[in-house]
Structure 1
């Protein structure tokens, strides 16, 4: 064969994780014809995590086909990665197969955290993954409609799950610990509390409202109160897979991969992290679908810049809202400053519900748009203060050894 007719080898990029950030990154990488993209994910369908509470309540199945959100030409490999070998540039799969890469995007996402409460692992039902939500749905289907249900955790997932079930007519208690909706502005928090009250949800927060023990049919609270609970649902806290730490890569205290501001691993410039499992400059964004999309597109841009021999740009996007559904007809859309701190302004009621539904539908549309036209995704919110926070964090880390000396 004439040497001039030999096709050059494509650049192999492996994306580990097929959630919002991973799919966005994979789609964007197809901007270059000389890049071969492999997406490795343990499930054959895309999970809409923002709809898992609807799955629990029976109003949505929370999945879409990858053909609807993934660009043509991307290889979807349904498997789990058990180890990353940075020195050899390869990943080992659960099936024993090894897949090599030139660049790797680490997008493993997040899941339920270890509750750390006696009895919770045995008797409480987590909801952060598709399989957990499906199991919970089955448990609820088997429980009488009058059986007491307790949801532990006052964040968005806890609020939304409690509201979905109460709207079905179930008696629901939401145990929040210190505070209902910690992220929300006090005005937004009052609107959420009113919406939950209208649905009949009993909200417990403040002193004495932390769960200390879970049994098969009850919970013990820190204030000494015992709550009967036929079905206990645990939504408090998120954790990340330990793949990075098991692979010898540097992580933060939670287990997120440590990166610089370009989202490049502090250990290896061929590894780029994105989504919930990324900790740029040890200042990770709030775990959310909102953050996943701009992080995903930026991770791809970092890899594409390195392929082109250019210096990747620093990440500077922000999040400017949180939306919470309160059943199918009510909701709160909490606006925020560009550094992701809640402001006084929020929208509620049916308008809040419509905005929440639009926000839930938007990510799949954005992924599909990027699949059709890679490189088109933009994010309108910039966080001008992030650079100052990064500089302050670097200063703190530099000062730490001298304080310990």
Structure 2
């Protein structure tokens, strides 16, 4: 029996399970999924969990149930490529014939002193719960600093504004304008929403140090009661330790078929893979589609094309609280209520077809 082992129950490996189960898996192949939790977490919604506008239950989806799928709960500490096994916390080893690594990322602090110790995170469901607990307990008029004005920072700031109108929120953006890589219409819309809802956007920021109740932006000291870090990610330690070349962000450089160039049995999907796009759930799912194609060809003894088709993304969507949003789809900017409804509809569709 061939063993396909999936590390991490994120968007990429969920798509692989959806495509292979129940009837597209050869009879001589079995799948083992290893994850630290007993459910698939909707990472794109962690900002809402941290802000307190959704419950823990709302950001969970059950893993598929199949006699061909074995689920093992544990923390991956090492991938032993020489012996083709995954080592778990506690010492257990899981053998594999083919491995898909989808362990996701952790916060990257860019060497900023104190950032690891004195900031909160929304990178995992557990850390998002802790962030919610801290933010929810803050007294009125407390100052919350959110470092990083990418999609996660924007959505967290706007959601927190709706759930805690009594807080003072400061959003630190390293760039001169918010969403600078997208049309100015989107940037202006998001900035206007923040201005109208009393979220202070601090552009051209450079956080140089974090202390308890204090942020250092350039030479300025800014008193804060809590800080959430959304200013960058890096692959988790077991992925960083994989052999082979990494890009400037630490992500694994892959072959055209999404496996390690020197090991055709190890695939990397999602946030840890070096691809010409910013990490996203959509990208992980599109990459997973191609990994399934490669695995099926291998199992059937078929020859793969030298190069797979280029991955094409449809765009992105973001929310500004529960009533407003923004999107960039097919080179078109969409803002307002309709953009928010589109994002809500996509989430409903995902839960319906994956739960």
- Output the TM-score relative to the length of structure 1: 0.80
Q: Which residue of 1 aligns with 2:208?
A: 212
Tell me which residue corresponds to 2:334: 347
Aligned length: 345
Residue number among 168, 175, 180 corresponding to 1:171 in the alignment: 168
Matches of 2:335 and 2:240 in 1, distance apart?
42
- In 2, Cα distance between equivalents of 1:250 and 1:80: 24
Q: Name structure 1 gaps, 5 residues minimum.
A: 1-9, 337-342, 369-405
C-alpha distance in structure 1 between counterparts of 2:240 and 2:150, whole Å: 27
Tell me the distance in 1 between the aligned counterparts of 2:297 and 2:99.
14
1:315 CA displacement: 4.5
- State the SS of the aligned residue for 1:159: helix
Aligned twin of 1:257: 252
Alignment of 1:3-402 (within 5 A): 10-30=1-21, 31-34=24-27, 35-60=29-54, 61=56, 62-67=58-63, 69=64, 73-168=68-163, 169=165, 170-178=167-175, 179-206=177-204, 209-222=205-218, 224-279=219-274, 283-313=275-305, 314-336=308-330, 343=331, 345-368=332-355
70 and 259 in structure 1: CA distance in 2 versus 1, 3 angstrom threshold:
farther
Any conservation in 2 of the 1:70–1:367 contact (CA below 8 Å)? no
Question: Normalized against structure 2, the TM-score is what?
Answer: 0.91
In 1, the alpha carbon distance for the partners of 2:2 and 2:122 equals 38
> Structure 1 residues 70, 24: closer, same or farther in 2, change over 3 A?
farther
* Contact persistence 1:330–1:352 (CA under 8 A): yes
Give the 3-state SS of the residue equivalent to 1:181 in structure 2: coil
Please give the secondary structure, in 2, of the residue aligned with 1:150.
strand
Partner of 2:153: helix, strand, or coil? helix
Q: Secondary structure at the match of 1:59?
A: coil
Deviations 1:105-134 (A, max 9, x none): 111122211342122122111222112111
Rounded Cα–Cα distance in structure 2 between residues aligned with 1:65 and 1:260: 31
Distance in 2 between residues matched to 1:123 and 1:85, nearest whole Å: 34
CA RMSD of aligned residues (A): 1.9
Cα distance change, pair 366–291 in 1 and its aligned pair in 2 (3 A):
farther
Question: Which string of whole-angstrom CA distances, capped at 9 and with x for unpartnered residues, describes residues 181-203 of structure 1?
Answer: 23322111111111222221111
Q: Could you say which structure has the larger radius of gyration?
A: 1
**Residues 322 and 65 from structure 1, CA distance in 2 versus in 1: closer, same or farther, beyond 3 angstroms?**
closer
For 1:234 and 1:295, the matched residues in 2 are separated by 27
CA–CA separation in structure 2 for the residues paired with 1:364 and 1:294: 17
Q: CA deviation at 1:240?
A: 0.9
1:72 is displaced (CA, Å) by 5.6
The 3-state SS of whatever aligns with 2:326 is strand
Alpha-carbon distance in 2 for matches of 1:225, 1:237: 22
Indicate how the Cα distance of structure 1 residues 299 and 367 shifts in structure 2: closer, same or farther if over 3 A, else same: farther
Distance 1:328 1:226, change over 3 A: same
Deviates more, 1:245-254 or 1:76-85: 245-254
Contact 2:26 2:299 (8 Å CA) reproduced: no
Structure 2 residue runs of 5 or longer lacking an equivalent are none
Question: 1:374: which partner in 2?
Answer: none
Tell me the distance in 1 between the aligned counterparts of 2:49 and 2:196: 22
Q: 1:93 to 1:195 in 2, by over 3 A?
A: same
Question: Shift of residue 284 of structure 1?
Answer: 4.0
